[in-house]
Amino acid sequence: METLYKFQNSSDKLIEKIVDDDFSAINHVILTSGDSLPEHYSNSNTYLIIVQGTIQLQLGEDKNKPYEKGSIIYIPYNTKMNIANESNSNLEFFIVKAPNPKNYKS
């Protein structure tokens, strides 16, 4: 049997938790021009799925790189990351963490 999860459509900054079960955690994020997320370390195996705009992503000490709509970026556990929207349009992406960080065993 299926379970339906809904996410919001917005033109404003948004961070919402969509799924938080034993297997995975999925968040939906919209960043307006100039917005960013605080620097942090990945707390599970993480996939960023870009559905609109361009994400500026810095992992560890690597240079800041842009990834566009249609990209899926894998980020291993315990990787330092900076995420920003430096473009003039909105950035929308999903964060998929598997396993769910509350069940992650390194």
Q: Kindly state whether residue 70 falls inside one of the protein's structural domains.
A: yes
Structure tokens at 69: 């709509």
What is the band of 103 on the pLDDT scale with cuts at 50, 70, 90? confident
Name the average pLDDT for the chain. 95
In a domain, 8, yes or no: no
Q: What is the DSSP letter of 63?
A: P
The domain total for the chain is 1
pLDDT (tens digit, 9 = 90+) per residue, 33-83?
999 999 999 999 999 999 999 999 999 999 899 999 999 999 999 999 999
Q: What CATH number does the domain containing 54 carry?
A: 2.60.120.10
Whether the pLDDT of residue 106 is over 80: the answer is no
Within a domain: 6: no
Run of H or E including 65: strand 65-68
Q: Where in the sequence is the domain holding 36, given as residue range(s)?
A: 15-103
In a domain, 5, yes or no: no
- Is there a domain that residue 23 lies in? yes
Phi, psi dihedrals of residue 102, rounded to the nearest 5°: -70, -15
**What share of the chain in percent tops pLDDT 90?**
92
Torsion of CA 70, 90, 41, 17, to 10 degrees: -90
Residue tagged 């929308």 (tokens): 92
Does some domain include residue 4?
no
- 85 falls within a domain: yes
